[in-house]
Amino acid sequence: MGERVRAALAASDEAVLCGALEAAEHPAQGTLLDGVALCADPADALAEAQAAIDFSVPASSLAAAAAAAERGVAYVCGTPGWSERERAELEAHGARIPVVWAANFSVSVNVLFHLTRRAGELLGDAFDTEIVEIHHRAKRDAPSGTALFLAEQVAAARGQRLADHLVLERAGDTGARPAGAIGVQTLRGGDNPGEHTVLFVGRGERLELAHRSATRDHFAAGALRAALWAVDRPPGFYGMDEVLGI
């Protein structure tokens, strides 16, 4: 994702790369990227920045977000896999700077979130909901943050608490499908950038809403759009709904 964000910046007339952050043990440390030295210290990476875009892991993201808050830098985060405590810590930085977090920065995926919630409202409890996602073999978190956010849209549409209805695995004699269950199935393999399908399954009919990625470029484009949007915003914790005006 870092490479795709760099490509988006290179093609932009509104933003330029002014810092680059990577783990201290990364073999490319010190390498020049578009004239900017790759570094391991968030403070150094953010020294000249108005906005930061971060796709990494929660521990690294929290360090970067704290550094951004210290310097008044708008912070855009696409990192998945947060615990409740980590997510609360990230949200707290919204008291000092604009923070934009999204399960997925693709504009079309955010339209999918919107459509999934609306379909859940219209179809109601008469339709069972299952979500299937597939990603590349190196993806660390499962299910994907996008799949879980889709499940949240269904739960919200039904007035449910997702934790009470989420089903992540089935094996053995499971019995009949519980009423109101929201199933999420995870597949991993190859170099797939990501596919998500939401199935609303009724009696004698089925509605499917799907998004399939061929590249990661649209994730980077959406993150850059969020960063440009966030620069002039007041402190707060924002999502792509606000960025896109959905």
Q: 160 near 225, Cβ under 8 Å?
A: no
Q: Is domain 107-212 classified as CATH 3.30.360.10?
A: yes
- Omega before residue 235 within 30° of 0, cis: no
pTM: 0.82
Q: Which residue has the tokens 């906005």?
A: 51
Domain regions of the chain by residue span: 2-105+216-244, 107-212
Provide the token pair at 26: 């990364």
Residue 140 has pLDDT above 90, yes or no: no
Residue 69 has pLDDT above 90, yes or no: yes
Which residues on neighbouring strands pair with residue 32, listed in sequence order?
Answer: 37
Query: Per-residue confidence at 133, pLDDT binned at 50, 70, 90?
Result: very high
Q: Tell me the catalytic residues.
A: 135, 139
Residue 123 has pLDDT above 90, yes or no: yes
Give the pLDDT confidence of 151-210 residue by residue, as tens digits.
999 999 999 999 999 999 999 999 999 999 999 999 999 999 999 999 999 999 999 999
Average pLDDT value for residue range 80-91: 92
pLDDT, position 210: 97
**Torsion sign across C-alpha atoms 184, 187, 193, 195:** negative
Residue 141 has pLDDT above 90, yes or no: no
Residue 80 has pLDDT above 90, yes or no: no
Torsion of CA 162, 164, 166, 169, to 10 degrees: 160
Say if residue 107 is exposed, middle or buried (CB neighbours under 10 Å; 0-12, 13-18, 19+).
Answer: middle
User: What homologous superfamily does CATH list for 2-105+216-244?
Assistant: NAD(P)-binding Rossmann-like Domain (3.40.50.720)
pLDDT, position 194: 93
